[in-house]
Amino acid sequence: MSATKRVALVTGGMGGLGEAICIKLAMLGHTVVSTYSPGNAKAQEWQAGMRVQGYDIKAYPCDVTDWNSCVACVAKVAAEVGPVDVLVNNAGITRDMTFKKMDRVNWDAVIHTNLDSCFNMTKQVADGMVDRNWGRIINISSVNGQKGAFGQTNYSAAKAGMHGFTKALSLEVARKGVTVNTISPGYIGTQMVMAIPKEVLDSKIIPQIPMGRLGKPEEVAGLVAYLSSEEAAFVTGANIAINGGQHMQ
């Protein structure tokens, strides 16, 4: 893959999947910036831990659900680090419950964090990418945005919406050297997934995966690395599944 050094911004970079993405992009020589929720008291500890491992990953507070916070964050990144070349919209939450039990608060929380954040962050960097005739926007969706999931009307709607966003935006910027793609992971061994009771994982989820295991964060990170490279310049508007064969289109 290309060794050209870029500035890469990963939202939600301190979670299991986000951290793996940050590390992979840093290993490729990029200048990596992670956002974190303003209330995250462990952000500095995380950044120090990355430095111990040899990764100088910048960390900036940003509420990705809030337009003004995103404006301020990306402006600060541009001033202190440089304009963003690679944006990975990775921040996400779940608030699972049946639609019968779901209230507006839990619907809004997931839509704002998982879908509105794509607009809030991409809007800050897309024009600059177009002006520079190079950019990579990578949206982390989910297998459940492709096939749906019981108790996840909010999450599935947001994740499906991310790919609609990808397809439309990719058409607008394709001639300017900017690609926009979606990655739809299946069940990956992150903290979010490992919080599922083991008996549910073993009896309900893993049997649905032909490979018979959870995915690894590093495997998704490797796909992000490819899509952010020079070699992926002809890939745009795509939704790439990485789910161990759980769902095929």
Q: Which domains does the chain have, with CATH numbers?
A: 7-242 (3.40.50.720)
**What is the Cα gyration radius of the chain?**
17
For residues 186 and 154, the answer to whether their CB atoms sit within 8 Å is: no
**Separation CA 152–CA 137 (nearest Å):** 25
Contact yes or no for 64/34 (Cβ under 8 A): no
- Give the other-Cβ count within 10 Å of 78's Cβ: 16
User: Which pTM does this prediction carry?
Assistant: 0.95
Active-site annotation, residues: 155
Q: What is the pLDDT of residue 191?
A: 81
DSSP 59: E
pLDDT at residue 3 in the model = 60
pLDDT of residue 129: 98
Q: What is the mean pLDDT, run by run of 10 residues, along the chain of 249 residues?
A: 81 94 97 95 93 95 97 98 98 94 97 97 98 98 90 96 98 98 94 85 93 96 98 98 92
Query: What's the Cα-to-Cα distance from 133 to each of 85, 96, 165, 176, 208, rounded to whole Å?
Result: 10, 40, 20, 5, 42
Predicted pLDDT of residue 217:
96
